[in-house]
Structure 1
Amino acid sequence: MDDFMAARSQMALSLGFHIIFACIGMVMPFFMAVSHFYWLRTKDEIYKNLTKAWSKGVAILFATGAVSGTVLSFELGLLWPEFMKHAGPIFGMPFSLEGTAFFIEAIALGFFLYGWDRFNPWFHWFTGVIVGVSGLASGILVVAANAWMNSPAGFDYVNGEYINIDPVAAMFNDAWFSQALHMCIAAFVATGFAVAGLHALMILKGKNIRFHNKAFKIAAIFATVAAVLQPLSGDISAKDVAQRQPAKLAAMEAHFHTEEAAPLILGGIVDEEKKEVKYAIKLPGMLSFLAHGDFKTPVTGLDQIPEDEQPPIAVTHYAFQIMVGLGMIMLLISIIYFVALWKKPEWLTSRWLLKLFVAATPMGYIAVEAGWTVTEVGRQPWIIHGVMRTADAVTPMPGIIYSFYMYTAIYVSLSIIVIFMLYRQIKMVDKLYDNQP
């Protein structure tokens, strides 16, 4: 592995680790707020205990996410100095605003964690809502910065110089809305199914049934509603990518040849040498419809993209298939859950339905990781689409591979510690609320 690939791998590792905690920070406070609201309205102690239990988990994950996010900010400058030299003044606004949102989130979380029986009950609840709103704002602002890399705006690039800089136009670039919408809904899907799955597992084990039932219902409602909305945001994103990054769309679908009534490819094995996808299911005209809203409009294939500007095809395609496939499975589970709520209430207590949610526990986060792989790998070879190549942005310093090994060891260690702490927290909750009426 050369230093360039080591730098990319380190950044991918850091992003892949941090994005899980970012999703949790964007979503879990809203779960807490709903549970807390029920406590204030009903005075049912289970909701109070649930809110406290969730808040302790959020505190653990918030601290870890803060550390990994700080590391990422340093890595941008250390690994990609040429990129930051030019891009920093242009897209720095969303990062600075994200820092403000992060501080608000940290302060509000402190108020919430230590405000029990000290603040007015509704003000205390409101601090929890602020944690969620500021966490969601942080995520949107970071995604806006990433969207700028996919859809550069707010400057003129003339003779190798970046002039006429407009940070506001850069932040509200053409891609920010579709990416932010898709990411926010994905965070609710991933976190909702993960939380619902964990509580479903505890119900199946027969532990603190009422406690975990209430927790499961809150998480499952968020997860299933988001899973139904996600294909709509995916359609918006696909049409946006088709207009701005035809090479990425072509790689996502392994669409080698420009053609009318382009088929949508499901599955298959990519053969880049023969420029074909073997053993795939092809739906005629569907790619044209998804990209342009018409079954006949031609879709640009990789044959229209210079080879040195094509992203890695197989990785992008497989990641896209994983994301969509898992999304469809979670959508199916959501539909089944809605049928249970409206027509088949006896299903809600069935073991098979709970087992479906347990099986779906990791699916949302795997889909999120796959989606970010599509976003980042599909943009290659550009770090700023159409303006700066990734290879031109990397640090000239040698020995990056050792940094990659070191960070890998750190993140593996952090993962083990976080899993241990969360496991211990779950055991403490079950022991504390065991045999709760």
Structure 2
Amino acid sequence: MELDPLILARVQFAFTISFHIIFPAFTIGLSAWIATLLGISLWTGDPHYRDLAQFWTKIFAVSFAMGVVSGIVLTYQFGTNWSAFSLAAGNVIGPLIGLEVLTAFFLEASFLGIMLFGRDRVSPQLHFASAVLVAIGTAISAFWILSANSWMQYPAGHEVRDGIAYPVDWWQIIFSPTFHWRFVHMLIAAYITTGFVVLAVGARFWLKGKHLIEAETMMKMALGILVVLTPVQAVVGDFHGLNTLEHQPAKIAGMEAHWDGNHPAPLVLFAIPDEEAEMNRFELAIPKLGSLILKHDLNATFPGLKQFAPEDRPPVLPIFISFRVMVGIGLVMIALSVIGAFKWWRGHLFRPGWLMQIFAWTWPLGFIAVLAGWITTEIGRQPWVATGLMRTEDALSPVGGVAVLVSLVLFVLVYAVIFVSGGYYINRLLEKGPVRHIPKEDLRPTRPMAAAKDAGRIALSAGE
């Protein structure tokens, strides 16, 4: 059987990006959470918040390291598996990735050591400042990566000569038309992801009767931000969808399994899209609601899949399912956040019951939603690796299927070892929980022993 290098290269990139994206989605929010805790501690003088920050800093360190390792692999693949794309788009993508290293990674690397090890070595003000700068660095990193990816979604600010893109207007390249809402959407997703992890950890501590003060602080702070951000994310998602409809209508048509653009679109709740027959099997839909959501008009129309040549359509089934997974989880997140905030307001939050049990298992929700969103975004761009500039099949390196398969197997094995080990260590840290810090000035003998030693020193002095 002949191995298809295109399929294998796409599987390899999908595998590595899926592992990588969960770590930035966590560390972007986690760094902001740690900076917030240190800021509150600095403002109030309460060491309780510094202890919590120290606990989560250990988890951040492991997650950040695994994110760096998995991110490096992605850049190598541009040369090993996608060299034709690197040649065609390298004049644009290369500087954007280089700027991410120069601005974000260097900033993070410069202050990460102070954030990790500076608690008792630098002033609280400098420790807090280092955490803020690391948090800003992670957000800047997301800025440049999403800028590069948004250009691939809708290239702008360039000219093509002999099949190669050359920059013309860097402002248009950096802020391509699909960038703004995608960047905001991703940042909020990262904060929500971290919020549900913190909420779940707090709920588990509370149910076990361990670290109760820390557990209540984590749950209150997590719910406070989640009850705000989850509805805001729904609004941002709506604007993002409108932007996508304007600039990538084929993607929206695939996400909605919308075939005939001559009629108002229903909201398809469930279906099995049949691309050969150009119809949906077993469809369950609400008439015209799709048009209301996407055009804010019950009778409006927008392009359907039949209005695009078959070779220009994205694979419908994967993005149809992944989009609904993302939206479904988003609705669950909103409901849990609102219910939790209401219980907190009524003074009934910290009681054993079904809600606390559910909170203890909410930690994967954000990760699943982020993965589903990226599947929708990346598969929805197909068959283009850079829309209108280069098709995915033309971006491949001149490499054989066996070589790609061997590297894929090695990646799977190495990732299995690294990420299982990292996940185990993070779980150990979570099981151990926060450690209450004792300042150095308090590390001294108890009062009776200190008094006895003081008396002995006085007697010796008198004898001299």
Listed as ranges, the matches of 1:325-404 within 5 Å are 325-342=328-345, 344-398=346-400, 399-404=403-408
What SS does the aligned partner of 1:299 have? Answer: coil
Compare 200-209 and 147-156 and name the one that shifted more: 200-209
Counterpart among 117, 120, 127 of residue 120 in structure 2? 117
Cα displacement string for residues 210-231 of structure 1 (whole angstroms, at most 9, x for unaligned residues): 1222122223333332211111
2:211 paired with 1:223: no
Listed as ranges, the matches of 1:9-408 within 5 Å are 9-100=11-102, 101-157=104-160, 160-163=163-166, 165-342=168-345, 344-398=346-400, 399-408=403-412
Mapped partners of 2:412, 2:226: distance in 1: 31
Bigger Cα Rg: 2
Partner of 2:448: none
The letter of the residue matching 1:146 is N
2:9 paired with 1:7: yes
Cα displacement string for residues 369-412 of structure 1 (whole angstroms, at most 9, x for unaligned residues): 01000011011110001220001001111121111111111212
Cα displacement string for residues 251-288 of structure 1 (whole angstroms, at most 9, x for unaligned residues): 10111221332111112332333333344432222222
What SS does the aligned partner of 1:249 have? Answer: helix
Query: 1:91 touches 1:170 (CA, 8 Å); kept in 2?
Result: no
Mapped partners of 1:346, 1:163: distance in 2: 60
The letter of the residue matching 2:213 is R
Query: 1:94 touches 1:141 (CA, 8 Å); kept in 2?
Result: yes
Mapped partners of 1:292, 1:267: distance in 2: 21
Mapped partners of 1:162, 1:254: distance in 2: 33
Mapped partners of 2:335, 2:328: distance in 1: 11
Cα displacement string for residues 189-230 of structure 1 (whole angstroms, at most 9, x for unaligned residues): 112112211221221122111122212222333333221111
What SS does the aligned partner of 2:146 have? Answer: helix
Mapped partners of 1:409, 1:118: distance in 2: 40
Query: 2:66 touches 2:419 (CA, 8 Å); kept in 1?
Result: no
The letter of the residue matching 1:300 is P
Partner of 2:444: none
What SS does the aligned partner of 1:346 have? Answer: coil
Mapped partners of 1:224, 1:361: distance in 2: 16
Identity %, equivalent residues: 33
Compare 316-325 and 218-227 and name the one that shifted more: 218-227
Mapped partners of 1:288, 1:174: distance in 2: 22
Unaligned runs of 5+ in 2: 438-464
Partner of 2:428: 424
- 1:347 shift after superposition: 3.1
TM-score by length of 1: 0.94
The letter of the residue matching 1:371 is G
Query: 2:322 touches 2:373 (CA, 8 Å); kept in 1?
Result: yes
The letter of the residue matching 1:142 is I
Number of aligned residue pairs: give it: 432
Mapped partners of 2:284, 2:361: distance in 1: 26
Query: 2:270 touches 2:283 (CA, 8 Å); kept in 1?
Result: yes
Mapped partners of 1:304, 1:191: distance in 2: 41
Query: 1:31 touches 1:218 (CA, 8 Å); kept in 2?
Result: no
Query: 1:263 touches 1:286 (CA, 8 Å); kept in 2?
Result: yes
- 1:358 shift after superposition: 2.3
What SS does the aligned partner of 2:414 have? Answer: helix
Q: CA RMSD in A?
A: 1.9
Cα displacement string for residues 338-392 of structure 1 (whole angstroms, at most 9, x for unaligned residues): 32243x2213434322223223221111010010000110111100012200010
Mapped partners of 1:44, 1:160: distance in 2: 61
Query: 1:204 touches 1:351 (CA, 8 Å); kept in 2?
Result: no
Query: 1:208 touches 1:433 (CA, 8 Å); kept in 2?
Result: no
- 1:319 shift after superposition: 0.6
Partner of 2:462: none
The letter of the residue matching 1:255 is H
TM-score by length of 2: 0.89
Unaligned runs of 5+ in 1: none
- 1:117 shift after superposition: 2.7
Mapped partners of 1:374, 1:383: distance in 2: 14
Query: 2:278 touches 2:306 (CA, 8 Å); kept in 1?
Result: no
- 1:93 shift after superposition: 3.3
Mapped partners of 1:59, 1:159: distance in 2: 45
Query: 2:92 touches 2:167 (CA, 8 Å); kept in 1?
Result: no
The letter of the residue matching 2:184 is L
Mapped partners of 2:301, 2:325: distance in 1: 25
